[in-house]
Chains A and B, each alone.
Chain A
Amino acid sequence: MSDERVQLTINGRTWDTVVESRLTLADFLRERCGLTGTHLGCEHGVCGACTVMVDGDAVRSCLMFAVQADGTEVTTVEGIAEPDGALSPVQSALRECHGLQCGFCTPGFVVSITALLRDNPDPSDDEIREGLSGNLCRCTGYQGILKAVRMAAGDGEGDHAAEGVEPTTAVSS
């Protein structure tokens, strides 16, 4: 049915295009913009894999239509690292603390953690758990992810960082 014009900024780049009104922001990012870092798990707002920032707020990109992002500034996982490709503190901490295994849920976690720490730079364990309760991980387990958040928050509790130990090798589970 209706096609709608959208103009938006994604990771600093401006897009001006026409979309079908029923196209979700997630599908727009993946299929039209080639930003396949945003993953789609459940497609109805439960798993959190598709989390992106819209005007700074972490939101489910599967629960928003692309046309609704008209005029906004969107940040996806591709926009989190430094322009030279250096990992952000959150990304480094996830790698360091074995906060990912298969990586499917990771983009959602990276975006959620980045937003969480921006709003609450020194969260308690309860606040971390609450802040990440909307992201599901099915393989790594959450302990490494929690550790990574603590490390990225700068309290040095990521267990390997302080000792300069190499990241844990992933074992199949």
Chain B
Amino acid sequence: MKPPPFDYHRPASVAEAAQMLADLGDDAKVLAGGQSLVPMLSLRLAYLDHLVDISRLVELKGVERSGDVVRIGAGTTEATVERDQLVAEAVPLMARATPFIGHAQIRNRGTVGGSIAHADPAAEYPAVVLALDAEAEATSPRGTRTIAAEDLFTGLWSTALDDDEILVGLRFPVWTGRCGFAIEEFARRHGDFAIAGAVVAVEIGEDDLVKRCGIGLIGLGSTPLRATAAEDQIIGRPVGEVTGDELGRLATEPLDNVPADLNGSAVYRTHVGAAMVARAWDKASSEARNGTNTGANR
């Protein structure tokens, strides 16, 4: 398996990379960690005339907090996120989702921005970004703009990023107060793409009512999905009254485009998805009630 020929470019800055993408048009693609793009090229699922390698751009790497926002540079590797104390404390769902991505050798090169820009419906980070209401920063020769998570994923492996835009960072709001976070996945083998999975973020008030909730669904549609209808139906209700089974049902009932393959029919995946939502809810809600998520409260 050999990738089709392409021209390789290694710009020295984001600005240069963006200009390159603008000049080369839609025959060019950004190469970040390459852990999804290179296999796609090797399997000849993708043919590109130009690859613009941004994996060495230091300006794209790093984690920083300002106020109630944690910004993770798009070029930050998953391995870095996994070890980062600030992420663990302020965006625990990102930290907890990371070990589910591939394997250690993949996470050593795979990047946060690459995962989001690749927008695989079965990937972990897109679900987290949706559930936490994060924002993407995209730079092109025309400037930098912010894209809300809900506007980011437009189709299978497609995002709202324009051809000449580079995802440069992700901004995560720090959820404070009585919060809980969990990710649950079911896969045949650890590290495989999940048959179905879910992330849940929840905040409850002092009155034990659900104040805020984000549910991201993994592998249950043609795009990364957020179960907004289910969230709406539990907000304002006493947290102890919402069962995992109910939330699983609410989150999966509206699904109408669940993929089917050798690993499972759409019905089976939907069933597994509901179970994953239920498990994630049980964990996240109990963490919020017990106040065990001390990190986000700082």
- B291 on the A face (CB < 8 A): no
Question: Which B residues touch A59, using CB under 8 A?
Answer: 105, 108-109
- B103 on the A face (CB < 8 A): yes
Q: A1-B7, A22-B5, A68-B55 are in contact. Are A44 and B39 (CB under 8 A)?
A: yes
**Chain A, interface size: which category?**
20 to 34
Pick the interface stretch among A77-85, A126-134, A146-154: A126-134
Within 8 A of A (CB), among B1-59: 1-8, 10, 31, 34-35, 38-39, 41-43, 49, 51, 53, 55
Question: Which B residues touch A63, using CB under 8 A?
Answer: 34-35, 38-39, 106, 109
* Number of B residues with CB within 8 Å of any CB on chain A: 33
Contact A44 B42 (CB under 8 A): yes
- B258 on the A face (CB < 8 A): no
Interchain CA distance A67-B108 in the complex, whole Å: 18
Interchain CA distance A58-B108 in the complex, whole Å: 7
Within 8 A of B (CB), among A1-36: 1-2, 4, 20-22, 24, 27
Contact A134 B42 (CB under 8 A): no
Question: Which A residues touch B34, using CB under 8 A?
Answer: 63-65, 68
Question: Which A residues touch B7, using CB under 8 A?
Answer: 1-2, 21
Within 8 A of B (CB), among A58-103: 58-60, 62-65, 67-68
Interchain CA distance A58-B110 in the complex, whole Å: 12
Contact B102 A134 (CB under 8 A): yes
- A112 on the B face (CB < 8 A): yes
Partner among B8, B55, B191 whose Cβ is within 8 Å of the Cβ of A133: B191
Partner among A2, A22, A58, A60 whose Cβ is within 8 Å of the Cβ of B2: A22
Interchain CA distance A60-B37 in the complex, whole Å: 13
Question: Which A residues touch B266, using CB under 8 A?
Answer: none
Interchain CA distance A63-B51 in the complex, whole Å: 14
Contact A60 B42 (CB under 8 A): no
- A51 on the B face (CB < 8 A): yes
Contact A45 B106 (CB under 8 A): yes
Contact A57 B109 (CB under 8 A): yes
Question: Which A residues touch B39, using CB under 8 A?
Answer: 44-45, 63
Question: Which B residues touch A144, using CB under 8 A?
Answer: none
Interface centre among A44, A60, A63, A133 (most CB of B within 10 A): A63
- A158 on the B face (CB < 8 A): no
Interchain CA distance A22-B49 in the complex, whole Å: 11
- A43 on the B face (CB < 8 A): yes
Contact A133 B190 (CB under 8 A): yes
Of all chain B residues, which has the CB nearest A111? B105
Partner among A24, A44, A58, A62 whose Cβ is within 8 Å of the Cβ of B104: A58
Contact B5 A1 (CB under 8 A): yes
Question: Which A residues touch B104, using CB under 8 A?
Answer: 58, 112, 116, 130-131, 133-134
- B99 on the A face (CB < 8 A): yes
| A65 CB to nearest B CB, Å | 7
8 residue pairs A–B, Cβ–Cβ below 8 Å: A2-B6, A45-B106, A57-B79, A59-B108, A62-B38, A63-B38, A68-B31, A134-B105
6 more contacts with CB within 8 A, not counting A63-B34, A68-B53, are A21-B7, A24-B38, A44-B38, A45-B35, A68-B55, A134-B102
